[in-house]
Structures are given as structure tokens and as C-alpha cells.
Amino acid sequence: MTGRFISFEGIDGSGKSTQSRRLADSLRSQGHNPLLTREPGGSAGAEDIRALLVSGDPDRWSPETEILLFTAARRDHLERTIAPALTAGRDVITDRFADSTRVYQGTTRGDLRGLVDALHAQVIGTEPDLTLIIDMDPAEALRRGLARDSGEDRFEDFGLDFQMRLRAGFLALAEEYPERCVVIDGTRDADSVAADVLQTLVKRH
Ligand code: ADP
Ligand code: TYD
């Protein structure tokens, strides 16, 4: 018996962490014991790598170096956090997974989807059962994201045009993997989005 593996994806500030938390709360209130986690991060080593990735100048790392760092972090996260929880029968909810590398590094930062896919096949080899893509207008999401002033704004600092290309990348990904990806309209209030997420989970799994 393994748990369900659920990922949230989307542009920066679209509401992924809010909705991951809300889904974990709902599952808990139904008597489940979900594991809520995030990328980059989710294990001690991956959190160390996160610190290298999310702060500093936008040009601190090349897209190729980013792919290696994000994939290293993901491997550690998978080995130490995700796989043990799924094996123990727990649902795992992750705020971002491999689709973020496909879209950010594979198609938006560079034209490197081949490298992303090759590395993924070699060292990750796992996809979520369900991926919820929270879709919204990048201008609004950017305002929400920067309003947090978290000090982790390296990717937000690439600007609005970058976020618009990311949005298109996530929508294209939903078409590429229709069996596991569902696009959720994130412009609504958080309660409505959360209700949509729960309904989708019931329908799909
Ligand atoms: P992400 O994890 O995608 O970057 P967050 O969940 O952290 O997004 O949300 C970014 C900001 O927008 C936070 O300040 C959050 O409180 C706010 N927010 C999240 N969802 C909504 C919503 N549906 N409507 C308005 N504000 C929201
Ligand atoms: P996150 O903390 O989810 O940012 P946000 O809350 O702003 O959405 O992720 C940090 C940044 O790392 C985010 O801008 C997206 C980027 N990222 C990649 O570029 N590639 C990846 O594989 C992952 C997991 C994240």
C-alpha cells in the first residue's frame, strides 16, 4: 500500500504553498496523515541546496548549473523524505517537483528540456499521481509574491516577461501530461481554489 503523490505547480506567487497547506489540512481533517513538503528543499541536504538557489543575483548560476543543483536537491528529497512516506502509506503533498525544472530550466531559462529529461530519467524516475497547476495572471501573482518580501526573490527578479513565459510553459506541460495534470484557476479567493482542488482530487483519485 502506497500513499498518493500530489504536486502543486505554477508561477511564483500563484498560491501553491497556500493551497498545499490547505489540502494537507483537509486531508488531516478526514483522518489521513499527509506529509507536506516543498522543493527546492524538503530534506536537510536539499534545504542547504535551496539556500544556494533562491537568493543572490539572477545570473548567479547558469541554467545548466541550476538543473544539476535542483536535481541533486530532488534526489535527496526523494530518497529521504518522499519515498519513505509513500512506502509507509502516507499521502505526500509537495509544493513543486520535477515539472518546475522542466518549465523554469528546460524551457524558460534555456532550451534545455533534453538535459532535464535525461537527468530526470537517470536519477529521479518518478512522477506524481496528480499535479495541480495553479494558473493565474503573472502581474497579479508577481504583486502577491513580492509583497511577501521573503528575501528569496531571485527568480521573481527575472521579471514579468519571464513569469509570462513560465505561465505558458506550465499550460503546455498540462497538455503534454493530461493523465496527471489538472489546471486550476488561481485568480479566485483561496477558499474557492481550495474547494476546486479537493473536488479534483476526489474525481481523479
Ligand atoms: P506560491 O507558493 O505559489 O508562491 P503563496 O501561497 O505563497 O504562493 O501565495 C503568495 C501570496 O499571495 C501570499 O501572500 C498569500 O497569502 C497570497 N495568496 C495566496 N492565495 C491567494 C488567493 N487565492 N487570493 C489572494 N491572495 C492569495
Ligand atoms: P518556491 O519557494 O516554490 O518559490 P515561490 O514560492 O516564489 O513560487 O521556489 C523557489 C524558486 O525556485 C521559484 O522561483 C521556482 C524556482 N525553481 C526552479 O527554477 N526550478 C525547480 O526545479 C524548482 C523546484 C524551483
Each residue of 183-198: pLDDT tens digit?
Answer: 999 999 999 999 999 9
Question: Each residue of 10-24: pLDDT tens digit?
Answer: 999 999 999 999 999
**Cβ of residue 106 lying under 6 Å from some atom of ligand 2:** no
The closest-lying atom of ligand 2 relative to the alpha carbon of residue 71 is 22
Question: Each residue of 159-184: pLDDT tens digit?
Answer: 889 999 999 999 999 999 999 999 99
Residue 205 sits at the vertex; the CA angle it makes with 199 and 81, to the nearest 5 degrees, is 105
Give mean pLDDT, residues 88-102. 98
Which residue's CA is the closest to the ligand 2 atom numbered 17? 100
Domain 5-204 has CATH 3.40.50.300: yes
Tell me the C-alpha distance between 44 and 24, whole Å. 21
Would the pLDDT of 145 be above 80? Answer: no
Tell me the C-alpha distance between 99 and 173, whole Å. 8
Amino acid (one-letter) located at 43: S
Give mean pLDDT, residues 57-76. 96
Task: Using pLDDT thresholds of 50, 70 and 90, give the confidence band for residue 68.
Answer: very high
Which residue's CA is the closest to the ligand 2 atom numbered 14? 155
CA of 13 to the centre of ligand 1 (A): 6
**Cβ of residue 189 lying under 6 Å from some atom of ligand 1:** yes
Write down the pTM of the prediction: 0.96
Tell me the C-alpha distance between 130 and 100, whole Å. 14
Question: Each residue of 23-37: pLDDT tens digit?
Answer: 999 999 999 999 999
* Helix pair angle (160-176, 138-148), 10° resolution: 120
CA of 117 to the centre of ligand 1 (A): 30
The residue among 79, 93, 77 whose CA lies nearest residue 3 is 93
Strand bridging mode 181-185 / 130-135: parallel
Amino acid 146: pLDDT = 66
Amino acid 147: pLDDT = 63
Kindly tell me the sign of the dihedral angle through the C-alpha atoms of 122, 97, 23, 45.
positive
Per-residue cell: 159 = 521579471
Least confident residue range of 117-126, 154-163, 182-191: 154-163
Burial class (CB in 10 A: 0-12, 13-18, 19+), 83: middle
The conformation of residue 80, written as its DSSP 8-state character, comes to: I
Which residue's CA is the closest to the ligand 2 atom numbered 5? 12
Tell me the C-alpha distance between 21 and 2, whole Å. 21
Residues linked to residue 35 through DSSP beta bridges, in sequence order: 92
Per-residue cell: 145 = 509574491
Cα distances (Å, whole numbers) of residue 195 to 76, 83, 116, 189, 191: 32, 28, 33, 10, 6
Average pLDDT, the chain: 94
Reading phi first (left if > 0) and then psi (alpha if -120 to 50, else beta), residue 13 is in left
